[in-house]
Structure 1
Amino acid sequence: MSALVLVEVSIHNPELYEEYKKHTLGTLQKYGGKFVVRGAQTESLEGDWNPQRLVILEFPSVQSAKDWWSSPEYTVAKNIRYRAAQSKMLVVESVGPVGA
């Protein structure tokens, strides 16, 4: 079953965050990951949730998402993100492929 990774990001160093973005794309392919949403404009329909930046990734499984997150390749990018932004990240099992 596929999995989604949802990331809410508040950027405090935009230049460094651009560096993070450059490193991240290449780390996804090995784990079957792809961007579904990457920083698109958001609009709250309920509650007071309005993230500065929202990213949604899709992976073939929860395990592949976790393998990506803990991989040496992504750890380099992740350490840049830790210096550039504050983030909240969830992995959730999907009911099926996005768009199905």
Structure 2
Amino acid sequence: MPAYWISRCIINDPVSYKRYTDQVPSIIAQYGAKVLARGGKYQIMEGPEIFKRFVVLEFPTFESAVECFQSDAYKAAASHRRNGGGIVENVIVDSGEFTK
């Protein structure tokens, strides 16, 4: 069952952030991910307008998404963002209806 990695982002340093975003496509591809949305037009429908960039990735499974996020390659790429290049809130969600 597919899972989705959803990121809400603030870019503080475009040069450092680009070092991160340049590496991510090849890393996520190793885990079978597909980009559904990356950057682009958006509209905040409710809540504070804190984040300015949004990314949605589809992975084949929840486990593959978590494995990608925890991989050494992703951690190395994310270090550019984590060192002041940007602020990101990431969540990985399983697809399907689980509310009873």
* TM tier relative to shorter chain: 0.7 to 0.9
Q: How many Å apart are 1:49 and its aligned residue? A: 4.5
Q: How many Å apart are 1:40 and its aligned residue? A: 1.4
Aligned to 1:92: 93
Query: 2: CA distance between counterparts of 1:78 and 1:6?
Result: 15
Aligned to 2:67: 67
Q: TM-score, normalised to structure 2's length?
A: 0.87
Q: Counterparts in 2 of 1:20-99, with a 5 A limit?
A: 20-49=20-49, 51-83=51-83, 84-95=85-96
Local SS of the residue matching 1:88: strand
Q: How many Å apart are 1:47 and its aligned residue? A: 3.2
Aligned to 1:98: none
Q: How many Å apart are 1:91 and its aligned residue? A: 0.5
User: Which letter does structure 2 place at the counterpart of 1:79?
Assistant: S
Q: TM-score, normalised to structure 1's length?
A: 0.87
Query: 2: CA distance between counterparts of 1:82 and 1:54?
Result: 17
Q: How many Å apart are 1:32 and its aligned residue? A: 0.7
User: Which letter does structure 2 place at the counterpart of 1:85?
Assistant: G
Q: How many Å apart are 1:45 and its aligned residue? A: 2.3
Q: How many Å apart are 1:35 and its aligned residue? A: 1.0
Gaps of 5+ in 1: 96-100
**Count of residues in Structure 1 that have an aligned counterpart in Structure 2:** 96
User: 1:31, 1:64 within 8 Å by CA — same for their partners in 2?
Assistant: yes
Render the CA deviation track for 1:29-88: whole Å, top value 9, x for unaligned.
Answer: 111112111011210223335620001111011100000001111111111111210110
User: Which letter does structure 1 place at the counterpart of 2:3?
Assistant: A
Gaps of 5+ in 2: none
Instruction: List structure 1 segments (4+ residues) > 2 angstroms apart after TM superposition.
Output: 45-51
User: 1:44, 1:50 within 8 Å by CA — same for their partners in 2?
Assistant: no
